[in-house]
Structures are given as C-alpha cells and as structure tokens.
Structure 1
C-alpha cells in the first residue's frame, strides 16, 4: 500500500478520494489512516518543500493544507502530500523535518496546528459544495474537478469545521507541532 491514485486539484478532495481508494483496494487498512488539516487562527501556515514554492526552499504560506497519513505500526508512518516536492509518500520524520521544520524559527502567529481525523470518520462526515472555490461573483477561481462535489445529507458544506483549529469544536483532535511529532514519530528503539 505504498502508492495510491491521485485525483482532483483540490487538496481536501484529493485526500477524500485517496481515503475512498484505500477503502476500495485495502479495506482493512483504513483503520490505520488519518486525515490531517494544518492551519491556525490567522490562516497563515508556512510549509517548505511545496511544489508551488518559488524560492530555493520551496516555501509556501497556505491558509490551510491537508495531508494523508498511513500509520500501520508505531515505528512506521507515511505521509502522502500531493503538493509536496518530497517523495510520494515520505516517512513522517523526513516530512516533518523538511516541511514543518520547527516552531522556534517562527512568530507565534505562524505556528501550525494539526486537526487529526481518523480517515473513516473523514469519509463519513466531510462535505464540500465547493463554495470556497468561487469568487464573490460566483465564477470559479480555478476549474473544479470533473466529478460531483463531495456532500452528505447532514450538511452540504462543513469544510470550515475541519480547517478551524479550536480544540473544543469540530471533528478529530487538534495538536500542536510538538504533540503531532510525539503522536506520529516513534523512533525505533
């Protein structure tokens, strides 16, 4: 299960389709997968080694970012980031070191927070009618994916619940960078 298919241009929809792919092709493995939204209160999160980056370090300031984690055992966690310049997938230690680096070099306004949601829960609950992909006049910022929006009957659009980083609201659990590292990077002893 080292490679999965890639799909649309929308990050959260790509990850949703990746979760569907795992469920279809490796149904027993979805329990070992998580979806991680990276953001903060200011919606300014620096990530390095991003394809969209223009400088040598490939730095991008995203409003939010979404990655997929496959963690079948404590010493093995792979990160699938469709926007990364790193190998696909990348082991979590390399990904964290090169993509997030450390909070010590940042002003606190730019600290990254991580909403970790079990992949199965994400598949059941996520919904986006793509309103965030439109300009105020209703035209598309970029052409949408060719498939229908991902919506559920409970709510046509709950993307904001996943992006906001208030630990008392929304699905999953919100972690600091340190907590995220402690949760997903377990060096071999």
Structure 2
C-alpha cells in the first residue's frame, strides 16, 4: 500500500509524514495527536495546510464503532469509541489520504480503503451507532481548538489516561471547547457535519 502511494505522488502533493513513529502520539488523546500533525504541516509544508482537514467522528450517543483500530481486541480490531479524530490530506480532487495514528492500516491510507475498512457501512448498524463526521479545515482547527483536558480527569482529579508530556492546548478565548467539535448538531460548532454517505461523496472522487 505504501509503495503505491509513493509511486502515485505527483508534483503538487507532498509526503507529509514519512513515518507514523516520528509523529507525536499519546493514546486516548487523538484530538491532540491530530493537532500536532497540523502544526507539523505548517512548519514543514506551510502551503499545504489549505489542503488539509480535521475530522471528528461521533454521534449523539457517543458510541461509534470503528474497525482496524490498534486498540481493538478481536481479529477485526473493532473498537467503540465515544469519538475519534483523523487527519485528511486532499491535494487533488481525486486524491485524499487519511492519517490515523490509532489505525492498524498503513499510514497514510487512501480514503476509499480507509472508509471501507474502518467505517464499513451504516446498513449493518442500529441507528444509535451511525457515525457522523464534523469536518473542519486544519487551519481553523489550529486557530480555534482548545482543551484543558478536563474530560480525561476523574471526579477526584486523577487522570483516566496519562496526558501528553507537553502542556494543554489552550487559547485565550476559551480554555476548553472540545465539546463543540465532538457534538454533531449541524447548526452548532465549527465546520460542517456529514453523514457517512455525505462524507464519502465529499472526499472520494473516483477517476472518470
């Protein structure tokens, strides 16, 4: 898979992240992992940030099944997250790559393969488990996202999962707006909210 991606690279697209092992990663902090990917692009390929998007995956019940996740215990690597966050690079209309540091798939993976392997179809799920997608431009995400990590603390103040070794990502306007990105009401929050079908139609453009 990686060989085919490299062989199809064109002059107007970049190999943004050569190795997943070189990326900032902390388990259960997917939104911050993606934030660091966005920062890395602005430092190394600033002109490409306009071709990048951040996608939050969740639903009203906060129960979204995703396959091929490293945290999965069964053969199909199925996990039911409350939410998940991925990074998209779409330098051309018919080329979109997904970067998911929690995935068991190659890094990156073409969007069609990622969707097929990770989301599959809503037709096999009860409506409560349908996945929705809040798509935000990477630049907007960098400018507006803020998290003091309160969602990762128990009532007694202890950590549910150890935090990253760098400080919280916050801005002066709002110390914590993660919930605005996770909730999937279309009329609220940044970016746009899509169904799985709409997400496929937006980012998968087969060659004609």
Whole-Å Cα distance in 1 between the matches of residues 44 and 150 of structure 2? 31
Equivalent position of 2:83 in the other structure: 64
Match of 2:146 among 123, 127, 131: 127
Q: Name the SS for the 2:115 alignment partner.
A: helix
**1:143: how far off?**
1.5
Equivalent position of 2:65 in the other structure: 46
Deviations 1:90-128 (A, max 9, x none): 000000000000000000100000000000000000000
Contact kept in structure 2, 1:3 and 1:88, CA below 8 Å = no
Whole-Å Cα distance in 2 between the matches of residues 3 and 171 of structure 1? 25
Q: TM-score of the superposition, structure 1-length normalised?
A: 0.98
**1:8: how far off?**
3.3
1:183 aligns with 2:202: yes
Runs of at least 5 residues in structure 2 that lack an aligned partner in the other structure: 1-13
Whole-Å Cα distance in 1 between the matches of residues 23 and 63 of structure 2? 26
Runs of at least 5 residues in structure 1 that lack an aligned partner in the other structure: none
Q: Name the SS for the 1:37 alignment partner.
A: strand
Whole-Å Cα distance in 2 between the matches of residues 8 and 94 of structure 1? 23
Contact kept in structure 2, 1:129 and 1:157, CA below 8 Å = yes
Whole-Å Cα distance in 2 between the matches of residues 78 and 8 of structure 1? 19
**1:133: how far off?**
1.2
Deviations 1:48-96 (A, max 9, x none): 0000001111000000000000000111000000100000000000000
Whole-Å Cα distance in 1 between the matches of residues 160 and 130 of structure 2? 28
Whole-Å Cα distance in 2 between the matches of residues 2 and 159 of structure 1? 29
1:33 aligns with 2:55: no
Match of 2:120 among 75, 98, 101: 101
Q: Name the SS for the 1:120 alignment partner.
A: helix
Q: TM-score of the superposition, structure 2-length normalised?
A: 0.89
Equivalent position of 1:169 in the other structure: 188
How many residues of Structure 1 are paired with residues of Structure 2 in the alignment? Answer: 189
Match of 1:2 among 15, 18, 32: 15
